[in-house]
A and B are shown apart, each in its own frame.
Chain A
Amino acid sequence: MADILDILDIEQPATEISRDSIIHGDKNKKKYVTAKAVKRPEGMHREVFALLYNDNKELPPLLPTDTGKAYKQTKARLGMRKVRKWVWAPFTNPARKDNAVFHHWKRASDEAKEYPFAQFNKQVSIPSYSESEYNQYLKSEDWSQAETDHLMDLCQRFDLRFIVIHDRWDRAAFRDRSVEDLKERYYNICSILSKVKTNPWSNTVTMVNGEKRVYHYDAEHERKRKEQLRRLFDRTQEQIDEEQMLLAELKKIEARKRERERKTQDLQKLISRADSGTITPSTPTNHNTEPPGTPSSMAANMRRHDRKLHKKKITTQQRPMRAVENVTVEWSGIKFPEARGTGVWLRSQRMKLPPGVGQRKTKAIEQELRLMNIDIAPTPTEPICKHFNELRSDLALSIDLKNALASCEFELQALRHQYEALNPGKTLTIPASICNTSVDSDSKPVGEIIDVVGSPGAMNTTI
């Protein structure tokens, strides 16, 4: 009723204020009679059109304003119920051993339960040993018991953060030790104790197929790695420049060498040809510029041709009424660059996503990795690097394909609706072969349905 009055612009009798009118009040009042929609000229982008014509035919403001109705809309949801009471109540925290009582605010209606944050009280389990166990198994020439005790104490206090432990090491009482020394001793103790003690108490022991596996700490390797790392970090700018300069020089020398070899070969050829007496008019420059028939340029040509064909195919499919947006997957996979020639580098550098990969794609890939329960920054060993990069490249492709598929489907549905609108009473049955639901049952790979420029395989081999 109110709507009709509104449309006919007849003054409404003032309604009494109710809860509903507070919340939805302005929705009822504001009804704009929308002008006849102006048709969008052919070829004009929707966004541009929207700038010129909006629903109530107002010109867009030239200056940014904040007088729009945006701030007037009531967002407040006024509850009519009574508020719940809060009280300043004492609580004990089971994560504390001393039963200290603190006070905090809580709802009076909430029943007393365990302090919720106590669940975050996690502790690392550190092995312990008795005096006799120490004397029997753990004696070391290098370490006294007092020093070992100190180490285990620090391990407990700092939850095995060895860099912090090293920092807080009691240098007055014991001699200075490197992080690797500390780790070596700790893991050594762990492995000895896990052998002699039966219960698997520590996180350094894992059970694989019912067999005890003890974490082995390779101190020598770690020391070497740390030393290399330190040297890499401690390089001065001059040293880096010098190294780069030397590498550039090396390249130049190699190039010159190749040039010389080429020239001798040419000479040799000329000599042999001169010997046989058949001198062709071909000049030696031929070797530099590839003749048009060489395989690589041919491939490039074919690619170009391919792409043209592909474009044409899509344009001919266009319906007269509605411009079907071209769905092409232009880019697929990720091409990880070769490490640039800066001399020494860390292998983790190889796992960096190239700058061409946008923020959104990076996020999407990370999300996928998380779904698969894969660390987003794994330890970069040689095989992990390779596989991890391949995996992410494939993921990027799969994300692209999914997006392309979604937009194709959208187009398909839109076309169907359009068809049905133009031919009332008819329904368009989409052949099963191009319908998404059938793809699962069909064993047809997605690559055959959607054109992908450049196949993923090609990308991966270049890594």
Chain B
Amino acid sequence: MSGPNGMLYGGDEIGALVFDPGHHSLRVGYAQEDTPKADIPAVVGVGPATHIPNSEEKVPDGNITQTGSKTGSELRHYIDVTELHVPRPGMEVQTYMKDGQVDNWDLFEKMLDYCYSKVIRSPSEHHPVLFTEAVWATRPVREKLAELIFEKYQAPAFFLVKNAVLVAFANGKSTALVIDAGATQTSAVPVIDGYALVSAAARSALGGDHLVAQAKLMLNAAHIQMLPIYSIQSKEVIRERERARYTLKSLPAGLTQSWQQYMLKRQYEDFCHCIAQVSESAYDERTAASVPGVHYEFPGGYHQDFGPERFKLTETLFESSLAAPHLACAAAAACDADARPALWAGVVCGGGGACVTGWAERVARDLAARAPSSHRLKSHAAASLAERRFAAWIGGSILASIGSFQQMWISSQEYDEGGKGHLERKCP
């Protein structure tokens, strides 16, 4: 941290952990690393612990957190893809998130147990914990989280930061207009000197899940069936657009609706990640047709090229008045006039939704058309997709390993003395 000539460099690592809970996944890892250690789906499978459905499945190892003894009536929690993506009768998929915040604390505890035992593999008492939160996080949720971290996990220190602020930090800015496109939400938040302007933030429910729903509609309309991948035993190689030939697997009875839907949603997401692209300007049949198509093979073996549909699909993200550029304009307009030039000069995009090909370019373009012409507009998004997707986590990783940040943590001593009252004061 200090160089040979007495220069003081910025970093000092104290073994902190960074958690970034989202609707799509929970990102967790050590501060000062450049990507999270794990990106775990933000759902928990809850099912009876009794049976082992088929021979391939190993005896459950530590990936399963056990509640109580191994009697048949107990429920078990299945976390992360290797456990969750196995067909099990009676396993319901539940999410612990609601409106960008943790809602079901029992499930969330299971998730944290899993993180500590399988990802971090180190006792929780050794690591200060930094959590990201939505800009609109409510006081009870924040206090509950602090309570959980200090009382159950005995963490030495805790801190909460708004994810928009971290996205700005990850892009090397302390003042920025942050557009964060998540799974269920898209938000635009002005950040001034590392503080999010809460009252000026704008958000809409037009996120990645919306795109998935659109993809479902599109495939239905084209009469293309998305077969669940776990139900396919084998498939034959066929020519493009030919009828699929496959044999089905025999599945255990009693697969729950929620699990099947969850699995299908993952497949639609994959479809979106592969083919969706945002056109440079408003959708136009002819320009879209001139772009070469993208090939996609469905689980059943059916495959075809997708052409202009790829652009039509994403257009719904930009047509409505709740699209990202509109949100950004609304957020900037709600700010004090003195702050606006700096905000427009630093528009930053982050989140999984910003990974769709062409998304950031389109936002920049739409903003250029909508933003007041008296401002210098500069939009920015990390070049690598991983950096875009994990922007909030990376910002947390940077912040938690800055030397001068180490005085900001709420320590367990402070928590013991002042209780939850500290939270509002110390984590703005």
With A102-B157, A103-B14, A121-B404 as contacts: A226 and B425 at CB distance below 8 Å: no
Residues of B within 8 A of A234 (CB): 333, 372
Contact call B336/A163, Cβ cutoff below 8 A: yes
Q: Which one of A116, A119, A226, A233 lies within 8 Å of B1 (CB-CB)?
A: A116
| One of A91-99, A201-209, A413-421 contacting the partner | A91-99
Contact call A117/B372, Cβ cutoff below 8 A: no
Answer yes or no: B112 CB below 8 A from chain A CBs: no
Within 8 A of A (CB), among B402-417: 403-404, 406-407, 409, 411-414, 417
Residues of A within 8 A of B14 (CB): 102-104
Residues of A within 8 A of B412 (CB): 100
CA distance A99 to B416 in the complex (A): 13
Answer yes or no: A237 CB below 8 A from chain B CBs: yes
Contact call B195/A98, Cβ cutoff below 8 A: no
Answer yes or no: A240 CB below 8 A from chain B CBs: yes
CA distance A166 to B192 in the complex (A): 12
In terms of DSSP, what is the predominant structure of the interface of chain B?
mixed
Residues of B within 8 A of A346 (CB): 374
Answer yes or no: B428 CB below 8 A from chain A CBs: yes
Most buried by A among B193, B336, B413: B336
Answer yes or no: A338 CB below 8 A from chain B CBs: no
Q: Which one of A95, A100, A116, A167 lies within 8 Å of B156 (CB-CB)?
A: A100
Most buried by B among A102, A226, A232: A102
Contact call B413/A233, Cβ cutoff below 8 A: no
CA distance A154 to B128 in the complex (A): 27
With A102-B157, A117-B8, A230-B337 as contacts: A167 and B197 at CB distance below 8 Å: yes
Contact call A100/B411, Cβ cutoff below 8 A: yes
Across the two chains, which residue of chain B brings its CB closest to A345?
B374
Q: Which one of A98, A116, A240 lies within 8 Å of B2 (CB-CB)?
A: A116
CA distance A104 to B337 in the complex (A): 43
Residues of B within 8 A of A166 (CB): 336
Q: Which one of A95, A103, A163, A233 lies within 8 Å of B407 (CB-CB)?
A: A95
Provide the B187-208 mask, 1 if CB < 8 A to any CB of A, else 0.
0000011010111100000000
Contact call B193/A164, Cβ cutoff below 8 A: yes
Residues of B within 8 A of A229 (CB): 337-338
Inter-chain residue pair count (beta carbon < 8 A):
101
Provide the A139-156 mask, 1 if CB < 8 A to any CB of B, else 0.
000000000000000000
Contact residues on B (Cβ < 8 Å of other chain), bracket = 35 or more
What is the CB-to-nearest-CB distance from A327 to chain B, in angstroms, rounded to a whole number? 37
CA distance A115 to B374 in the complex (A): 46
What is the CB-to-nearest-CB distance from A115 to chain B, in angstroms, rounded to a whole number? 8
Residues of B within 8 A of A226 (CB): 336-338
Q: Which one of B157, B198, B375, B413 lies within 8 Å of A168 (CB-CB)?
A: B198
Answer yes or no: A82 CB below 8 A from chain B CBs: no
Residues of B within 8 A of A179 (CB): 336, 338
Answer yes or no: B373 CB below 8 A from chain A CBs: yes
Answer yes or no: B12 CB below 8 A from chain A CBs: yes
Within 8 A of A (CB), among B327-352: 333, 335-340
Contact call A232/B374, Cβ cutoff below 8 A: yes
Most buried by B among A99, A166, A235: A166
Across the two chains, which residue of chain A brings its CB closest to B12?
A104
Most buried by B among A99, A103, A115, A117: A117
Answer yes or no: A158 CB below 8 A from chain B CBs: yes
What is the CB-to-nearest-CB distance from A351 to chain B, in angstroms, rounded to a whole number? 14
What is the CB-to-nearest-CB distance from A421 to chain B, in angstroms, rounded to a whole number? 43
With A121-B407, A167-B198 as contacts: A103 and B336 at CB distance below 8 Å: no
Contact call A99/B198, Cβ cutoff below 8 A: no
Residues of B within 8 A of A100 (CB): 156-157, 409, 411-414
CA distance A101 to B406 in the complex (A): 10
What is the CB-to-nearest-CB distance from A117 to chain B, in angstroms, rounded to a whole number? 3
Residues of B within 8 A of A161 (CB): 192-193, 195
Across the two chains, which residue of chain A brings its CB closest to B198?
A167
Residues of A within 8 A of B2 (CB): 116
With A100-B157, A102-B157, A161-B193 as contacts: A118 and B372 at CB distance below 8 Å: no
Residues of A within 8 A of B372 (CB): 233-235
Q: Which one of A103, A118, A230 lies within 8 Å of B15 (CB-CB)?
A: A103
Most buried by A among B197, B375, B404, B413: B404
Provide the B387-419 mask, 1 if CB < 8 A to any CB of A, else 0.
000000000000000011011010111100100
Give me the 9 closest cross-chain CB pairs, A-B, nearest first.
A117-B403, A100-B411, A95-B407, A120-B404, A229-B337, A167-B197, A230-B337, A164-B195, A102-B14
Q: Can you name 18 A-B pairs with beta carbons within 8 Å?
A: A95-B406, A96-B407, A100-B157, A100-B411, A100-B412, A100-B413, A102-B14, A102-B157, A104-B14, A104-B15, A116-B2, A120-B404, A163-B339, A164-B193, A167-B198, A168-B198, A237-B373, A346-B374
Further pairs besides A103-B15, A240-B373: 8, Cβ < 8 Å: A98-B417, A101-B156, A103-B126, A104-B15, A164-B197, A179-B338, A226-B338, A233-B375
> Which residues of A line the B interface, CB within 8 A?
93, 95-96, 98-105, 115-121, 157-158, 161, 163-164, 166-168, 179, 226, 229-230, 232-235, 237, 240, 345-346
